Amino acid sequence: MLIGVVADDTTGANDIGIMFSKNGYLTKIVAFDAGARLQADADVIIIDTDSRLDPKEIAYEKVLTATKQLQIVGCKIFHKKTCSVFRGNIGAEFDAVLDALGEQFMIISLAFPKNGRQTVHGIHTVHGKRLECSEFAHDPVHPMHSSDLVAILQEQTQHRVGRIDLDIVRNGTIALRQALESARTEVNYCIIDAQNQDDLTLLASALDGLAVLGGSSALAEELPKYWPTHKSCDALEQVDFQDHNGVLIVAGSLMPQTAAQIAHLQAIEMPVLKIDTREIFDLPLIERKKQEIIDQAVTLIMAGTDTLLMADNSPEIVRDTKAIGQASGIAEMTISKMVSAVLADITADVVAKTNLKRLIIAGGDTSGTLCRKLGITGNIVLREIETGLPSGLALGRHMLIVLKSGSFGKPEFLQTAVEHLKTICYQ
């Protein structure tokens, strides 16, 4: 049974990938550009369309193409992985999956209880706060101003959207199956409540014969319990990195979770190399600063010192950077991409000069930009470090990577990930 997933960014692809990988499924992530060369050489194939920030028309075409590619190689179960708070081109991408498959019905589960995302009576919360009261209300590209998932999705699609309440979920498998059968005749997208992992287990138990899913990765952790027993596969057999260089961490996210992780690294006195993002608009200046940081990073990494490279996230610098850009007519999303490009340039030089084998990236857009710069075309999902946060064996460049969503992880996650990459070859 071949499983196909379409994810809208790199960190999301890894987030859902680990849910299958830790259940013994060989899980391979490939970039959208590599989709035309897909082979059925894994149990789970995930195509990263990198479409969350695209115009909706482009996102639709990417997902349409990716879904058809997965269908051609023989996938029988499909999952459209989205952000766990519905940021992105949700309606366009769901529509593309249904159109590609010729289907009329998709089950959507957005809850991710282990990461604080819950859906009750159709209202989505993040760590107990309604979505419009959470940090995602201030997202620079997709600010979330509503917690009503049906309303959010209905604004983005002409298809009918409905939901199944938590009370029905908790009535058990038979009642839930009956509700799903009824929903198939009434709506195209059915959003299902879940408050805890047991709710997701119940949902997974009721999905017999339903093969088109969407939403966060959390449901994928429960699905293998109701699939045929699977022979475990360990991609670590391909891994053998014996060097004493330091680990490079690159942080481009402004999310509070990443800020707390950076603060933890500073507290343990890890060397920190900061980019003053106000300088990215002055090309000669930023080129000089990049070279200075590259030289420092190479020295530290070659000496075996773990090092953090980051865009300065202090509020005044972030505020000033936006103001400078706006004064020049540069959109906030473009500024973000400029910052990611500077981080990518520095990282590429450091990798080349140190033969770096262990890289951690914090932030979805930053991860995508750096992977493209380094020629990383995907990865084999390895081991879970924290919920939804795995390590990976890069494709296109022989190195170990961790690609972390900006809004995931405990304060000590980055330190834990460093130790994980140093010891994984010996596990």
The residues pairing with 239 across neighbouring beta strands, listed in sequence order, are none
| One domain, residues 93 and 201 | yes
Amino acid letter, residue 311? A
Q: Look at residues 3, 11, 6, 5 and name the one whose alpha carbon lies nearest to residue 388.
A: 11
Sheet holding 129-130, edge to edge: 117-120, 123-126, 129-130
> Of 233 and 218, which is predicted with more confidence?
218
Total H helices, total E strands in the chain: 14, 18
Count of C-beta atoms within a 10 Å radius of residue 220: 26
- Return phi, psi of residue 140, to 5°: -65, -25
* Judgement on whether residues 335 and 363 belong to the same structural domain of the protein: yes
- Measured CA to CA, the distance from residue 175 to residue 168 in angstroms comes to 7
Answer with the one of 202, 226, 250 that is the final residue of a domain.
226
Q: Are 256 and 186 part of one and the same domain?
A: no
Considering the domain architecture, whether residues 217 and 263 belong to the same structural domain is answered as no
Please give the pLDDT value at position 242.
72
Look at residue 138 and tell me whether its pLDDT is greater than 90: no
pLDDT of residue 426: 64
Please report the pLDDT score of residue 142 as a whole number: 86
Residue 14's pLDDT is what?
A: 96
| Coil, strand or helix at 341 | helix
Pairing of strands 123-126, 129-130: antiparallel
Q: Which two tokens stand for residue 230?
A: 């699977």
What digits encode the pLDDT tens for the residues 230-272? 666 666 665 567 778 999 999 999 999 999 999 999 999 999 9
Residues 323 and 294 in one domain: yes
Q: What percent of the chain has pLDDT over 90?
A: 89
pLDDT of residue 141: 81
Domain CATH code at residue 401: 3.40.980.20
Which backbone phi and psi does 303 adopt, to 5 degrees? -85, 0
43-70 burial by CB neighbour count: b if 16+ within 10 A, else e?
bbbbbbbbbbbbebeebbbbbbbbbebb
Overall number of domains in the chain: 2
Range of the domain at 98: 3-226
Predicted local distance difference test score (pLDDT) of residue 232: 61
Q: What's the confidence (pLDDT) of residue 37?
A: 84
Give the total residue count for the chain.
427
CA–chain centroid gap for 354, Å, is 27
Radius of gyration of the CA atoms of the chain, in A: 21
The two structure tokens encoding residue 264: 């933890």
Looking at residue 411, what is its pLDDT?
97
Cβ-proximal residues to 384 (8 Å cutoff; 6+ apart), any chain: 18, 21, 22, 390
Average model confidence (pLDDT) across the chain: 94
Q: Does residue 117 share a domain with residue 94?
A: yes
pLDDT band at 427 (very low <50, low <70, confident <90, very high): low
| Residue in 183, 6, 204 with CA at minimum distance from that of residue 89 | 6
Instruction: Please give the Cα distance from 368 to 383 (Å, whole number).
Output: 20
Query: How far is 364 from 355, CA to CA, in rounded Å?
Result: 24
The CA distance from 41 to 30, in Å, is 12
What would the two tokens of residue 125 be? 């919360």
Q: What is the pLDDT of residues 24-49, one digit of tens each?
A: 999 999 999 877 788 999 999 999 99
The mean per-residue pLDDT over the stretch 7-21 comes to 95
Residue 260 and residue 209 share a domain: no
Which of 200, 226, 252 is the endpoint of a domain?
Answer: 226
Contact 424, 385 (CB under 8 A): no
Q: Which residues pair with 148 in a beta bridge?
A: 123
Does residue 359 surpass a pLDDT of 80? yes
Distance (Å, rounded) from C-alpha 371 to C-alpha 380?
14
Of the pLDDT bands very low, low, confident and very high (cuts 50, 70, 90), residue 391 is very high
CA distance 73 to 36: 10
Same domain, 121 and 242: no
Residue for token pair 């023989």: 74
| Token digits of residue 144 | 């979330």
Residues 260 and 152 in one domain: no
Give how far Cα 176 sits from Cα of 164, 171, 194, 205, 254, Å: 8, 7, 12, 9, 40
pLDDT for position 240:
62
Q: Are residues 298 and 373 in the same domain?
A: yes
In this prediction, residue 373 has a pLDDT band, given cuts at 50, 70 and 90, of very high
Q: What is the CATH number of the domain that holds 106?
A: 3.40.50.10840
Mean pLDDT lowest for which of 109-123, 221-235, 241-255, 358-372?
221-235
Same structural domain, 197 and 285: no
pLDDT digits (tens, 9 = 90+) for 156-212: 999 999 999 999 999 999 999 999 999 999 999 999 999 999 999 999 999 988 899
Q: What is the pLDDT of residues 79-101, one digit of tens each?
A: 999 999 999 999 999 999 999 99
pLDDT given at position 140:
78
One domain for residues 172 and 313: no
For residue 79, the Cα-to-chain-centroid distance in whole angstroms is 14
**pLDDT confidence of 151, banded at 50, 70, 90?**
very high
Q: How far, in Å, CA of 256 to CA of 408, rounded?
A: 9
Q: Is the pLDDT of residue 341 over 90?
A: yes
Under the banding of pLDDT at 50, 70 and 90, the label for residue 133 is: very high
- As a dihedral over the C-alpha atoms of residue 25, residue 30, residue 35, residue 40, rounded to 10 degrees, the angle is -20
DSSP class of 409? S
Domain end call among 226, 245, 266: 226
